[in-house]
Amino acid sequence: MKYFLIGFMGSGKSTVGKKLASHLNIPFIDLDSLIAEREGMSITEIFKTKGEEYFRSAEKKQLTELCVSKEDFVIATGGGTPCYFNNMTLILNHGISIYLQANSAILYSRLSRSKAKRPLIMGLSDDELKNYIEKKLLERESFYLQANIHISGLSVDIKELVSLLAPYSK
């Protein structure tokens, strides 16, 4: 089975994904790391030198390859992944999706500490970051909410998550 963690930047996808993968004893994949590895440069460098459009098409390509593979895995997608092309349909058709929900205040407190390594928000002031999160979350939620399971991303109990996944895992 393939498990897709989706949600806004800073919602905890990688942390929860690693825990879930280790609990299920299947590989964990970080989509951003995979793209960076394939492109031979960091996500920040890709945005800087090749632009967001290039990044989105590389993201779609890697997601598609993984979806059609026969492997089982847990994947942490990027915050924008479900919102471009038909990526959310791909995700829905190839496994179980989990939306890690977090409100804009929580995202702000997490992202204001880590914005330097995130190309979409690295240049923003505190006020601009607050507005960016509110606007983008509103735009993106209609994609995120299509996920099979919605769970608060803050303090995910893996056993509870696994029990929510059970009806879908057959």
147 binds ligand S3P (CB under 6 A): no
Contacts 24+ apart (CB under 8 A), 79-85: 79/7, 79/8, 79/9, 79/10, 79/11, 79/140, 80/56, 80/140, 81/6, 81/31, 82/6, 82/140, 82/143, 82/144, 82/146, 82/147, 83/139, 83/140, 83/143, 84/56, 84/59, 84/60, 85/56, 85/60
CB of 148 to ligand S3P, least distance (A): 19
CB of 28 to ligand S3P, least distance (A): 13
17 binds ligand S3P (CB under 6 A): no
CB of 79 to ligand S3P, least distance (A): 3
| Residue with smallest beta-carbon separation from ligand S3P | 78
Residues between 47 and 106 with contacts to ligand S3P, criterion CB under 6 A: 78-80
Q: Total binding residues for ligand S3P by CB under 6 A? A: 10
9 binds ligand S3P (CB under 6 A): yes
Other residues' Cβ atoms within 10 Å of the Cβ of residue 69? 11
CB of 162 to ligand S3P, least distance (A): 23
Rounded distance between C-alpha atoms, residue 71 and residue 2, angstroms: 8
Q: Which residue is it, tokens 């057959």?
A: 170
Residues between 117 and 146 with contacts to ligand S3P, criterion CB under 6 A: 118-120
Interface positions with ligand S3P (CB under 6 A): 9, 13, 32, 43, 78-80, 118-120
